[in-house]
Amino acid sequence: MNLNSHAIFTLYAVYGILLKGISGQHPLVQNVTVTEGGTANMTCRVEYNDNTSLQWSNPAQQTLFFGDKKALRDNRIELIRASWSELTISIHDTTLFDEGMYTCSLFTMPVKIAKAYLTVLGVPEKPKIEGLMKPAVEGDQITLTCLTRGSKPAADLRWFRNEKEVKGAKEVNASGNTFTVRSSLQLHVDRRDDGVAYTCRVDHEALLQAPQQTTEVLEVHYAPRVEIAHSLAIPQEGQYLKLDCVSQGNPSPDPVMWTKDGVEILDLGRVIVEGRELTFTSLNKTDNGTYRCEASNHLGTSSDEYVLYVYEEPTTLPPSTTLPFHPTSPDSTALLGTHATDPTVTGYRDPNALAHHGTDHALIGGVVAVVVFVTLCLIIVLGRYLARHKGTYLTNEAKGADDAPDADTAIINAEGNHAHAEEKKEYFI
């Protein structure tokens, strides 16, 4: 390589370095978003700086820091790092007025600048629910309104009815640098709304970590509804029966009133009135009648009726539809398998129950046999007596029938003649 070639190579190398340095001397910044009241860090970087100073300015073009020198007296603004390649500052307790375009300047010839936009989010207030009446009355039309202020940009409001979202009508109004947002919910109140939780939730990018919401529980007053529940399908003499007056109302219709055929029922020992329950410890025919339960609150009265008819206790068992079973037979279980002792199998008959019923039938049969025997004996004795009396009557009637006008006179004559005959017999002797 000759001298001229070497000089040309050196010239191009120096020119390349200068171009690289000039292209690298350009400030680099990024936009920043911060929540109102938070801290914003503004960073400006530069590569291949030839000891040129960096400067940060606010949207009003006021110098905040020139290198490591603070220019604006604002205690909220602090220096984080200052070097030939980086200038980082922080703004504490940011407000909506801090929002705007910030400028980083590199003092070369000419001066190079880069701009970064600081966005300050307005945090919405905790929502408030207005228009709630406590208590509401069934049938009322009410409007629930959810309100939040201070959001920037405008917040979104969402309604939930027991965790299920429902649609509301949204309204947004600007208020200075922030927005006031309302959402309304129209309700036609009924008893199903009693105890329902209505929640209004604010959705906003400033609340990603901790959403704000408010919940109100709706109280609804409504007239009672009454229904009588009973424990027996077919009431029979001697059984236990409970009638339960199931009443729903708000305020609670307590106590309830029980009547029988229009007359209030009082505790009678065998019939017990205890709050909403009416209990018969042992039913009999005198309990027959119409029972009425009535409940009231300040919104109305409701009642229900139960007609009680007590059936006689059955004296005979219904015909069996199961296989014959003889509990005294040692092979009965073996013949029928598990069906003979398994109460869950259809057709199973308890041996103890059968033995008990067998004893009752034997006793009844013995009594009936004795009664039949005594009756037959009385019939035989009465028959023999009537037969003998009839024979005597006919014989005496024949003896006195010659000069008697009727049968009774004939009998009397016959008995007289018989007496005279006896007297005559004794006379001739």
Domain-located, residue 169: yes
Domain-located, residue 313: no
Angle, in degrees to the nearest 10, between helices 407-428 and 351-399? 70
Confidence of residue 210 (pLDDT cuts 50, 70, 90): confident
Does the pLDDT at position 279 exceed 80? yes
- Please compute the mean of the pLDDT values over residues 201-220 and round it to a whole number: 90
Same domain (yes/no): 233, 261: yes
Domain-located, residue 391: no
Does the pLDDT at position 423 exceed 80? no
Does the pLDDT at position 429 exceed 70? no
For residues 145 and 156, give the distance between their C-alpha atoms in angstroms, rounded to a whole number: 14
The token pair that represents 193 in the structure block: 């709304």
For residues 198 and 166, give the distance between their C-alpha atoms in angstroms, rounded to a whole number: 10
- Please compute the mean of the pLDDT values over residues 255-281 and round it to a whole number: 86
Q: What does the pLDDT read at residue 169?
A: 95
390 vs 283, more confident: 283
Does the pLDDT at position 12 exceed 50? no
The winner for highest mean pLDDT among 90-104, 243-257, 336-350 is: 90-104
Q: What does the pLDDT read at residue 84?
A: 86
Domain-located, residue 11: no
In tens, the pLDDT along 131-179 reads 988 889 999 999 999 999 999 999 999 999 998 999 999 999 998 889 9
pTM for the full predicted model: 0.58
- Please compute the mean of the pLDDT values over residues 395-403 and round it to a whole number: 49
Does the pLDDT at position 266 exceed 80? no
- Please compute the mean of the pLDDT values over residues 165-194 and round it to a whole number: 93
Same domain (yes/no): 205, 229: no
Confidence of residue 427 (pLDDT cuts 50, 70, 90): very low
For residues 397 and 293, give the distance between their C-alpha atoms in angstroms, rounded to a whole number: 79
Query: Could you tell me what percent of the chain has a pLDDT over 90?
Result: 52
Q: Which among 121, 145, 163 is the end of a domain?
A: 121
Does the pLDDT at position 363 exceed 90? no
Same domain (yes/no): 132, 94: no
Q: What does the pLDDT read at residue 7?
A: 39
Angle value at C-alpha 278, between 272 and 283, nearest 5 degrees: 75
Q: What does the pLDDT read at residue 51?
A: 77
98 vs 334, more confident: 98
Q: What does the pLDDT read at residue 335?
A: 28
| Average pLDDT taken over every residue of the chain | 78
Does the pLDDT at position 301 exceed 80? yes
Domain-located, residue 65: yes
Q: What does the pLDDT read at residue 371?
A: 87
In tens, the pLDDT along 24-78 reads 578 999 999 999 999 999 999 998 777 788 999 999 999 999 999 999 889 999 9
Same domain (yes/no): 298, 363: no
In tens, the pLDDT along 230-246 reads 988 899 999 999 999 99
Same domain (yes/no): 42, 116: yes
Same domain (yes/no): 136, 210: yes
Domain of residue 345 covers 322-368
Helix (H) or strand (E) holding 296: strand 289-297
Domain-located, residue 111: yes
Same domain (yes/no): 114, 163: no
Same domain (yes/no): 254, 273: yes
Same domain (yes/no): 117, 24: yes
For residues 290 and 268, give the distance between their C-alpha atoms in angstroms, rounded to a whole number: 17
Same domain (yes/no): 283, 229: yes
CATH at residue 204: 2.60.40.10
For residues 198 and 147, give the distance between their C-alpha atoms in angstroms, rounded to a whole number: 14
Q: Which among 157, 187, 218 is the end of a domain?
A: 218
63 vs 328, more confident: 63
Residues in the chain: 429
Same domain (yes/no): 55, 78: yes
Domain-located, residue 192: yes
Domain-located, residue 232: yes
Does the pLDDT at position 5 exceed 80? no
Q: What does the pLDDT read at residue 412?
A: 56
Q: Which among 171, 194, 218 is the end of a domain?
A: 218
Beta strands (DSSP E) in 152-240 are 156-161, 164-166, 169-175, 178-188, 197-203, 212-217, 220-230
Does the pLDDT at position 103 exceed 80? yes
Q: Which long-range contacts (CB under 8 A, 24 or more apart) does 362-367 make?
A: none
Q: What does the pLDDT read at residue 342?
A: 41
Q: State the total domains in the chain.
A: 4
CA 306 to chain CA mean position, Å: 27
Same domain (yes/no): 236, 281: yes
Confidence of residue 405 (pLDDT cuts 50, 70, 90): low
Instruction: Kindly report which listed range (70-79, 108-117, 206-215) carries the lowest average pLDDT score.
Output: 206-215
- Please compute the mean of the pLDDT values over residues 117-137 and round it to a whole number: 92
Q: What does the pLDDT read at residue 373?
A: 85
